[in-house]
Amino acid sequence: MAVASSSKHQLIMLALALALVAGLFLLPKVIVKPKEGKGTLAQDAARTANRDQGAAAPNVGELDEHGHAAGSHEGPTAEQPHMTMPPAQRREISVLVAKYAAEPEMGAKLSIARQLAEKYKAVERFDSAGYYLEQIAQVRPGEQTWKRAADEYYEAFSFATTEERQKLLGGKSQELYEKVLKNNPDNLDAKTNLGMAYMASTNPVQGITLLREVLVADPRNEKALYNLGLLAIQSNQYDKAAERFRELTQVNAENVNAQFYLGVSLAQTGAKQEARKAFLKAKSISSDPALAASVDEELKKLQ
């Protein structure tokens, strides 16, 4: 998953809960995930937070009115709003779930599992996609099969809006990324995501350690630099954040999110001229109107 996907951006929301880490610094309990072109964090969460229940297997049978496996969760809450699935997709998935349960031949069953993962991913039910990919990995274990499952759980984790779901999905991500790294300790993408998953655990220091290990192995790793920059912002360490984002823009000057957050960090340190330059650079390399509006708002603050 690219750090600066051209299709993803979200306006920053940095009023996040922080956890005190002895001997290190304040760290967030949640993850800020830029989503280009899709509005604010709250709007994104409302569209994507409604998932089947994390590591739990979706129940077999008909889907309910919201497109979930019947009985897979309780009713909607403010923290976990429903995202209605179109009836045609709901029926299609329901048929595949029934076929998966009834299929006795393993090769055919795994083929259906792949289809289900694709269908669930298409409607942004990432943990359900992860569940079926995990079933494939259990039968055909390997670096790539475990990583495909882990990546979907991590995607769901990154959108989790409650501490309970952060821990549930973060824990599942940790479990599967550990399997990836057991197969290949040098998979830096898995190690980076594992580090971020640890941020919602009782051991966030391990997360920072993993991210720093990635940079030791690859000092130009965009995802590790980006995540460490975000973590520094969330802990109000704007000097460190600016350092990370400056490094990232040196690696990739076209990284829109890096330029934007560099501007945010510099503005907080009082370096208004440098901040203005970073904001204008971000605006110049993106056609996203949401980003442009956000940049204009930040520029007004610098006047």
Q: What is the DSSP string of 123-165?
A: TT-HHHHHHHHHHHHHHS-SHHHHHHHHHHHHHHHHT--SHHH
Write the CA distances from 212 to 66, 148, 180, integer angstroms.
41, 24, 19
Instruction: Tell me the backbone φ, ψ of residue 103, rounded to 5 degrees.
Output: -75, 120
Residues of the chain with pLDDT under 50: 1-82
- pLDDT of res. 222: 97
| Chain position carrying tokens 């229940």 | 53
- pLDDT of res. 84: 64
Instruction: Tell me the backbone φ, ψ of residue 40, rounded to 5 degrees.
Output: -80, 165
**pTM to 2 decimal places:** 0.75
Q: What angle do CA 108, 85, 2 make, to 5 degrees?
A: 75
**Per-residue burial over 68-103, b = 16 or more CB atoms within 10 Å of its CB, e = otherwise:** bbeebbeeeeeebebbebeeeebebbbebbeebeee
